[in-house]
Amino acid sequence: MTPLPIHNILFIGGSFLGDFSLFPGGSRDLHHFRNHSLNFNYIWNTLKIVFRRTYYYMKKNLYDICIVGGLGHVGLALGISLSQSGKQVVLYDINQKAIDTVSKGEMPFMEFGAEDALKNVLGRNLSLSSDRLSISDSYFVIVVIGTPVDEHLNPEFEVFKKFFSEIIDYLKDEQHIILRSTVFPGTTEKIKEFLRSNGKQTKVSFCPERIAQGKAMEELRSLPQIVASFDETSFQEAKKLFLSLTDDVIYLEPLEAELAKLFTNSWRYIQFAISNQFYQIATQSGVDFFRIYNALRYNYPRTQGFCGAGFSAGPCLLKDTMQLAAYCNNTFFLGHSAMLINEGLPNFIIQRLKEKYPLKDNVVGILGMAFKGDSDDPRESLSYKLKKILEIEAKKVLCTDPFVKDDKLVSLEEVIANSEILILGAPHSVYKQKKAAFSSKIVVDIWNFFEKGGYF
């Protein structure tokens, strides 16, 4: 090992404290350090960096794991959970607002059980960084950035390739990259080939996340983890990592794992479409879908997996279904049909209201703008699609949500007071406490959340 330069080493009271060449700003920070000698917090935080950099110099890796995109819905819960398992984890993200929030021990979004866990590990074995050097400082690099899609819902692999081009100088041969988010089939192989063509022997695996948003802290430990690698060494390393969270690890080839992720989300999306199609057929026939639904499921085991009706949205299901369609040259007709049914449900509701009520003379209120109940995530929410159509068809539209941050939303009380028609967009639990206030209104409840049926 190359000896540490003597002029860079700091001693206090005869004790070795660190190497100033390993400062974030190098040995030039020694003068900056002296200028802050009376600021204890600055000195302590600086010394921690020195200790860690010195440890890295001697040990090779400062962190066990760097999660790229670590402050999003997928990365943050994973990072907290791995930290709870004793791993040294750094969450790399360029979202400064999220960094400021998380650094105070606060979650930037709703995730049940995560905030208390965050407070317990933050500053101990969970760190935050906006510096790409944290990628180099880690053995495992877990990437939670998935394949984006364009305006035509086709995958854009070039964006993914551009990301790896930007971080390639921070990657080392002995590291292990784990792709975590949904990717277009063949992406893991392409990333490995891209790294090899640039002289990098970095190991690459695909280990898809399988959790439901809001249940990450529970499901990361209770659900099996699929691990896909190109060689036995990589598989054993990834397997050992995830065995720190769950007892079940399943091996697949990378292409198999990529398809497994897309199959899972497409299957769920199609399940919702079946129920939403049946809901529309029943409503058009003048009967309540949920009377039929409850009857056919009662003590009948073969229909227990039959889900209820409701908006099927969010950042994954539609996107992944369309990625699968693109992969099979748009011959995935079942997926396309599911998209037409699920995405067409807001139009069905409005057309039905127009047939029964003078919609242009009525104020319509939408209760819940998140993509699902008890969530603060509005991404790809069909409530916003409903709102856009109603702005053309209704007299006025008022929207509310107890969790979503949107300056255009108003209070629940204002929506109830000023609307003739109420549409439940997201079945938040808090709305059940207010259902008595809806009694004089026309209520559209496609979820049967209020247990009065879904017919309107």
CA dihedral 260, 265, 271, 277 (to 10 degrees): -130
Residue 31, φ and ψ in degrees, nearest 5: -65, -40
Spell out the domains of the chain, with CATH numbers in brackets.
1-59 (no CATH), 62-252 (3.40.50.720), 286-444 (3.40.50.720)
423 forms beta bridges with: 366, 444
**Rounded Cα distance, 160 and 191, in Å:** 9
The Cα-based distances of 114 to 109, 121, 225, 254, 273 in angstroms read: 10, 11, 20, 30, 32
Secondary structure (H, E, C), 172-216: CCCCEEEECCCCCCCHHHHHHHHHHHCCCCCEEEECCCCCCCCCH
- Exposure string of 170-190, with b = 16+ CB inside 10 Å and e = fewer, is bbeeebbbbbbbbbbbebbbb
Residues 6+ apart with CB under 8 A from 89: 63, 64, 65, 66, 67, 79, 82, 83, 125, 126, 127
**Rounded Cα distance, 446 and 326, in Å:** 31
For the entire predicted model, the pTM comes to 0.85
Residue 279 DSSP SS3: helix
pLDDT of residue 154: 75
**Rounded Cα distance, 193 and 159, in Å:** 16
Residues 6+ apart with CB under 8 A from 254: 188, 189, 205, 206, 228, 229, 230
Residue 82 DSSP SS3: helix
Q: Give me the half-sphere count of Cα atoms (radius 13 Å) on the Cβ side of residue 406.
A: 19
Neighbouring C-beta atoms of residue 53, cutoff 10 Å: 20
Given a cut of 50, the residues of the chain with pLDDT beneath it are: 1-38, 56-58
- Exposure string of 11-30, with b = 16+ CB inside 10 Å and e = fewer, is eeeeeeebbbbbbeeeeebb
pLDDT of residue 52: 59
**Rounded Cα distance, 269 and 182, in Å:** 15
**Rounded Cα distance, 166 and 170, in Å:** 9
Q: Are 127 and 52 in contact (CB under 8 A)?
A: no
Helix (H) or strand (E) holding 122: none
Neighbouring C-beta atoms of residue 116, cutoff 10 Å: 11
Q: Are 258 and 184 in contact (CB under 8 A)?
A: yes
pLDDT of residue 54: 54
Q: Which two tokens stand for residue 153?
A: 């819902």
**Rounded Cα distance, 179 and 142, in Å:** 6
What confidence tens digit (pLDDT) does each residue in 399-423 have? 999 999 999 999 999 999 999 999 9
Whose tokens are 């990365």? That residue is 75
pLDDT of residue 59: 55
Scanning 357-455, the segments in alpha helix (DSSP H) are 382-393, 412-418
92 forms beta bridges with: 68, 129
